[in-house]
């Protein structure tokens, strides 16, 4: 299936998301689209999936122009989208979510056929997803895997991957892309939107580079990754990462974490950045959410318990639990305010909102809806909503799906703000992120915390061993 975008333009208010974009995606290829957050990548592929309608321009499928492109047209043509945020149903079981809109629902013996289909795909890709579990019990990565199986089962001939592999383990990612490569040999087309240049260079045959809504170049691969980064960001980008300087002051915080029948007590230092790491599918997926919403975590400072009202939480699923898709940036900032008598001063709130948009580098206006922002800008919006006076900031996978520049911005901001807080706690699957930015590391293997210590007394290889089950370092 060949796809051609012809002079595609899309505006959201004053924000020009796509500016007369023209590009062809050849049948039987893995075609990557890259660019920094807000470059217009996701908007472009959402038009292909029928979720967004262009203001002008046309989309051609196998050189035939499609009028009134819609989700139903996209499905009928065999186009499927796997996005950053899975399109599923939290309260359904995995099997029920897999079955929604499935082609086999038109057949007799539907339940048996669907179970057989799910079992075949689950086994083929080594996902090992329990079909009886509820969707909300799965990690983001596992939910993405269920959605990918559903797309393949429905006979998609063009698969759009919009930053999906940030939730995959290395083994699962390899299996998925090996399968996609095999599908391209059979004529299937894959559009890969990614910030991970290593994945683009390893799996794609060509790449289109976007910046500020414009398509700059389409290149055959391989290419020099430094050249691609320069195109994405507009100037020479020099990576300048210093090794984390761990805080080694007096331990004046006591954190108590309930783990099954045991209470774990951790001795911490004020203003620490605490990293929680584990393999995808381990207890790290739910740790911060459980800490925030349940009673399995308490924090004592100088003998006084810190009230949960002084905690701020940024979840990993931005549009499901973090933001209201149809509300504007202004609306979100208004909701985050503590106001007297329940009356909002909208003029003052708009001025504050404009300042926060500038301070956090959000590409949008106060009236831009959350759903219209890129993933990186949604993350910046959630950070901007954290109150300045919170004692503990808790962030699940804060750089999931972000480009290099946006991720570095997030870490710089968290590093700057941590001195004003008792604790900043973040979770990640990436050992390098933990090593580069955490002062204290909590390691999960399966559902259990197997070690917790300052980075001064643990090595990167020990962290890897701990999360893989080869315990070499316990609690300091």
Measured CA distances, 407 to 297, 377, 399, 414 (Å): 28, 11, 5, 11
Query: Using a CB cutoff of 8 Å and minimum separation of 24, what contacts does 9-14 make?
Result: 9/54, 9/55, 9/56, 9/57, 10/40, 10/43, 10/47, 10/52, 10/54, 10/55, 11/55, 12/368, 12/369, 12/372, 13/365, 13/367, 13/368, 14/365
Which residues, at least 6 apart from 235, have a Cβ–Cβ distance to it below 8 Å?
A: none
Check whether 32 has a pLDDT greater than 90: yes
Q: Evaluate whether 161 touches 83 at the Cβ level (below 8 Å).
A: no
Q: Are residues 227 and 115 in the same domain?
A: yes
Q: Are residues 298 and 207 in the same domain?
A: no
Q: Are residues 365 and 413 in the same domain?
A: yes
Instruction: Please report whether residue 473 resides in a domain.
Output: no
Q: Are residues 301 and 190 in the same domain?
A: no
pLDDT of res. 191:
95
Local confidence band at 446 (pLDDT 50, 70, 90 cut-offs) = confident
Instruction: Please report whether residue 417 resides in a domain.
Output: yes
Q: Are residues 151 and 264 in the same domain?
A: no
pLDDT of res. 338:
67
Q: What average pLDDT does this structure show over 171-184?
A: 78
Buried b (16+ CB within 10 A) or exposed e, 391-423: bbbbbbbbbbbbbbbbbbbbbebbeebbeebbb
Instruction: Please report whether residue 475 resides in a domain.
Output: no
Kindly report, residue by residue over 354-410, the tens digit of the pLDDT: 999 988 889 899 999 999 988 888 988 998 988 878 899 999 988 877 777 778 888
pLDDT of res. 237:
40
Check whether 106 has a pLDDT greater than 80: no
pLDDT of res. 38:
74
pLDDT of res. 472:
60
Q: Give the integer Cα–Cα distance in Å for 143 and 135.
A: 7
Our measurement of the distance from residue 322's CA atom to the centroid of its chain's CA atoms, rounded to an integer in Å, reads 12
How many residues belong to the chain? 476
Q: Are residues 257 and 229 in the same domain?
A: no
Instruction: Please report whether residue 80 resides in a domain.
Output: yes
Instruction: Please report whether residue 248 resides in a domain.
Output: no
- Highest mean pLDDT: which range of 107-116, 245-254, 268-277: 268-277
Check whether 29 has a pLDDT greater than 80: yes
Q: Give the integer Cα–Cα distance in Å for 388 and 421.
A: 9
Kindly report, residue by residue over 186-226, the tens digit of the pLDDT: 888 999 988 677 788 989 999 999 988 999 999 999 998 88
For residue 37 the two structure tokens come to: 């957050």
The structure's pTM equals: 0.59
Check whether 450 has a pLDDT greater than 50: yes
> pLDDT: is 383 or 280 the higher one?
383
Count CB atoms within 10 A of the CB of residue 362.
Answer: 25
Q: Are residues 408 and 447 in the same domain?
A: yes
DSSP string, 354-367: HHHHHHTT-SS-TT
Local confidence band at 248 (pLDDT 50, 70, 90 cut-offs) = very low
Q: Give the integer Cα–Cα distance in Å for 222 and 443.
A: 37
Poorest-pLDDT segment among 96-100, 196-200, 338-342, 352-356: 338-342
Q: Give the integer Cα–Cα distance in Å for 159 and 189.
A: 6
Instruction: Please report whether residue 26 resides in a domain.
Output: yes
Q: Give the integer Cα–Cα distance in Å for 62 and 201.
A: 26
Q: Are residues 299 and 207 in the same domain?
A: no
What's the mean per-residue pLDDT of the chain? Answer: 83
Check whether 101 has a pLDDT greater than 80: no
Instruction: Please report whether residue 238 resides in a domain.
Output: no
Q: Evaluate whether 71 touches 51 at the Cβ level (below 8 Å).
A: yes
Kindly report, residue by residue over 374-385, the tens digit of the pLDDT: 888 898 899 898
Domain count, the chain: 2
Q: What average pLDDT does this structure show over 89-107?
A: 79
Count CB atoms within 10 A of the CB of residue 301.
Answer: 17
Share above pLDDT 90 across residues of the chain, in percent, rounded to a whole number: 27
Strand 214-220 with 206-211, pairing: antiparallel
Beta bridge pairs of residue 134: 93
Instruction: Please report whether residue 247 resides in a domain.
Output: no
Local confidence band at 8 (pLDDT 50, 70, 90 cut-offs) = very high
Q: Give the integer Cα–Cα distance in Å for 375 and 403.
A: 10
Q: Are residues 355 and 409 in the same domain?
A: yes
Q: Are residues 51 and 86 in the same domain?
A: yes
Q: Are residues 353 and 396 in the same domain?
A: yes
CATH, residue 379: 3.40.50.300
Q: Are residues 300 and 212 in the same domain?
A: no
Give me the helices (H) in 41-187, please: 41-48, 71-77, 94-99, 110-124, 140-153, 170-185
Note down the domain range covering 24.
3-233
Q: Give the integer Cα–Cα distance in Å for 92 and 166.
A: 23
Check whether 245 has a pLDDT greater than 50: no
Poorest-pLDDT segment among 49-58, 245-254, 336-345, 432-441: 245-254
- Of 233, 262, 293, the residue at which a domain comes to its end is 233
């Amino acid at each position: 299936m060949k796809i051609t975008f012809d002079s595609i333009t899309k505006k959201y208010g004053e924000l020009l998301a796509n500016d007369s974009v023209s590009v062809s995606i050849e049948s039987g290829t893995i075609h990557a689209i890259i660019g920094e957050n807000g470059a217009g990548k996701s908007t472009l592929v959402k038009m292909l999936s029928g979720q967004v309608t262009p203001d002008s321009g046309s989309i051609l499928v196998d050189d035939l122009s499609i009028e009134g492109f819609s989700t139903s047209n996209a499905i009928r043509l065999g186009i499927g989208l796997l996005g950053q945020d899975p399109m599923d149903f939290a309260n359904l079981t995995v099997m029920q979510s897999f079955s929604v809109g499935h082609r086999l629902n038109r057949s007799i013996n539907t339940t048996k056929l669907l179970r057989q289909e799910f079992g075949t795909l689950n086994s083929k890709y080594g996902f090992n997803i329990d079909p009886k579990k509820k969707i909300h019990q799965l990690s983001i990565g596992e939910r993405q895997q269920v959605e990918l199986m559903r797309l393949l089962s429905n006979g998609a001939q063009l698969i759009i991957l919009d930053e999906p592999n940030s939730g995959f383990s290395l083994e699962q990612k390899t299996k998925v892309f090996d399968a996609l490569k095999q599908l391209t040999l059979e004529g299937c087309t894959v559009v890969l939107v990614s910030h991970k240049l290593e994945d683009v260079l390893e799996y794609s045959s060509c790449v289109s580079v976007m910046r500020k809504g414009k398509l700059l170049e389409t290149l055959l691969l391989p290419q020099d990754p430094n050249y691609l980064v320069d195109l994405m960001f507009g100037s020479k980008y020099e990576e300048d990462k210093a090794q984390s300087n761990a805080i080694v002051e007096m331990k004046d915080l006591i954190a108590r974490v309930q783990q099954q029948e045991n209470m774990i007590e951790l001795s911490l230092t004020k203003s620490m950045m605490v990293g929680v790491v584990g393999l995808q599918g381990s207890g790290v997926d739910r740790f911060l959410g459980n800490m925030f919403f349940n009673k399995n975590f308490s924090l004592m400072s100088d003998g006084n318990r810190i009230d949960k009202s002084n905690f701020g939480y940024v979840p990993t699923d931005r549009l499901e639990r973090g933001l209201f898709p149809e509300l504007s940036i202004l609306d979100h900032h208004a909701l985050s305010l503590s106001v007297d008598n329940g009356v909002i001063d909208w003029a003052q709130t708009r001025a504050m909102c404009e300042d926060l948009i500038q301070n956090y580098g959000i590409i949008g206006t106060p009236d831009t809806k959350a759903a219209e922002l890129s993933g990186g800008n949604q993350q910046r919006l959630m950070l901007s909503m954290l109150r300045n006076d919170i004692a503990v900031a808790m962030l699940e996978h804060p750089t999931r799906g972000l480009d290099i520049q946006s991720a570095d911005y997030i870490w710089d901001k968290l590093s700057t703000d941590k001195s004003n807080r008792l604790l900043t706690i973040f979770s990640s699957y990436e050992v390098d992120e933990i090593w580069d930015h955490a002062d204290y590391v909590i390691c999960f293997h399966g559902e259990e915390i197997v070690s917790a210590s300052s980075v001064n007394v643990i090595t990167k290889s020990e962290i890897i061993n701990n999360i893989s089950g080869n315990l070499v370092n316990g609690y300091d």
